[in-house]
């Protein structure tokens, strides 16, 4: 597609994408903060008596402003209430991607490796011109594919430590209860890291995409819109 003149609005995001995007954000804030409260009840990973998994936060509790629930039971009730809408929103989003065919512009596939390298070169200023791209560049595809997988991982490790007997096979798949708990904890930092990079890139590279995620309409002139 040819570059459209600036300020001609283009429809960018379906309402399902916008709704699930912001709902996921709010739900993750609640799940992460209640999770940090739960963590404080036993701030290490491993069977009683050790050995313990490497954890820079061992035996430490997180600042009060970052915790939701007040105490263990309060945090558990928040966590176990918010997990359902997170799964529902995730399934709605994936169903939309499949139904609309939009997964094609988001799924990172082996053929995107070459483009991802070119894109990385551009960001590192080893290449002057912005590589041609569709709706998303290959690095974006990589990020958006990875974040969906991270969501799946967070839910599966969550199930593995929620019902380690009823889903014993899943718990075993992650290396046992304490290992699953450890990976569940790690998904928090990957979510937090992703969100920071994501927000920084939105506002430094393509601020118009922020409004597009709210209204659905893209009004910028960044080459990424088509």
Partner 1 sequence: MIDRRSFFRLAAGAGTASLAAACGWDGGNALRPRLLDISRLNDWVGEKILFSRNRLARQYDVSERSARLPSYFISRMMPMLKDPAAWRLQVQGLVRRPQSLSLDDLRAMPRTTYTVKHHCVEGWTAIATWHGVPVSAVAERCEPLPEARYLLFDSFDSDYSNGWDLASAMHPQTILAYGMNDNPLPPAHGAPLRLYSPTKLGYKLTKYLVSMTFVAERPGGFWEDQGYPWFAGV
Sites of contact with partner 1 (CB under 8 A) = 26, 29-30, 33, 38-39, 41-42, 47-49, 64-65, 67-78, 80-81, 84, 163-166, 168, 177-178, 181, 214
Judge whether 212 and 12 are in contact, CB under 8 Å: yes
Give the single-character DSSP code of 3. P
Provide CB contacts within 8 A for 225, sequence distance 6+: 4, 10, 12, 135, 218
Nearer to partner 1, 141 or 181 (CB): 181
Partner residues linked to 217 by β-bridges: 11
Residue 92 beta carbon to partner 1: minimum distance, rounded to whole angstroms: 18
Nearer to partner 1, 64 or 129 (CB): 64
Judge whether 206 and 222 are in contact, CB under 8 Å: yes
Residue 176 beta carbon to partner 1: minimum distance, rounded to whole angstroms: 9
SS3 of 146, please?
Answer: helix
Nearer to partner 1, 34 or 137 (CB): 34
**CA–CA separation, 137 vs 130, rounded Å?**
10
SS3 of 225, please?
Answer: coil
Say what angle helices 208-215 and 177-205 make with each other, to 10 degrees.
110
Residue 221 beta carbon to partner 1: minimum distance, rounded to whole angstroms: 23
Nearer to partner 1, 90 or 164 (CB): 164
User: Of 75, 81, 78, 82, which is closest to residue 40 (Cα–Cα)?
Assistant: 75
Residue 142 beta carbon to partner 1: minimum distance, rounded to whole angstroms: 30
Nearer to partner 1, 94 or 172 (CB): 172
Residue 109 beta carbon to partner 1: minimum distance, rounded to whole angstroms: 35
Residue 15 beta carbon to partner 1: minimum distance, rounded to whole angstroms: 11
Nearer to partner 1, 113 or 168 (CB): 168
Which phi-psi region, left, alpha or beta, contains residue 69 (left: φ > 0; alpha: ψ -120 to 50)?
left
């Amino acid at each position: 597609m040819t570059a459209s003149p600036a300020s001609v609005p283009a429809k960018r995001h379906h309402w399902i994408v916008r709704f699930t995007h912001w709902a996921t954000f709010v739900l993750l804030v609640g799940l992460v903060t209640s999770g940090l409260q739960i963590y404080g009840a036993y701030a290490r990973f491993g069977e009683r008596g050790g050995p313990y998994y490497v954890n820079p936060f061992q035996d430490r509790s997180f600042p009060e402003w970052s915790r939701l629930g007040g105490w263990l039971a309060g945090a558990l009730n928040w966590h176990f209430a918010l997990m359902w809408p997170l799964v529902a929103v995730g399934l709605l989003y994936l169903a939309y991607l499949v139904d609309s065919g939009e997964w094609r512009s988001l799924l990172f596939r082996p053929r995107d490796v070459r483009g991802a390298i070119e894109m990385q070169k551009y960001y590192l200023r080893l290449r002057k011109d912005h590589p041609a791209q569709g709706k998303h560049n290959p690095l974006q595809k990589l990020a958006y594919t990875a974040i969906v997988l991270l969501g799946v991982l967070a839910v599966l490790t969550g199930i593995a430590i929620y019902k380690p007997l009823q889903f014993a096979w899943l718990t075993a798949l992650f290396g046992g209860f304490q290992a699953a708990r450890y990976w569940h904890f790690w998904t928090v930092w990957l979510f937090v890291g992703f969100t920071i990079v994501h927000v920084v890139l939105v506002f430094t590279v393509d601020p118009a995409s922020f409004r597009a995620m709210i209204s659905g309409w893209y009004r910028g002139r960044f080459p990424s819109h088509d």
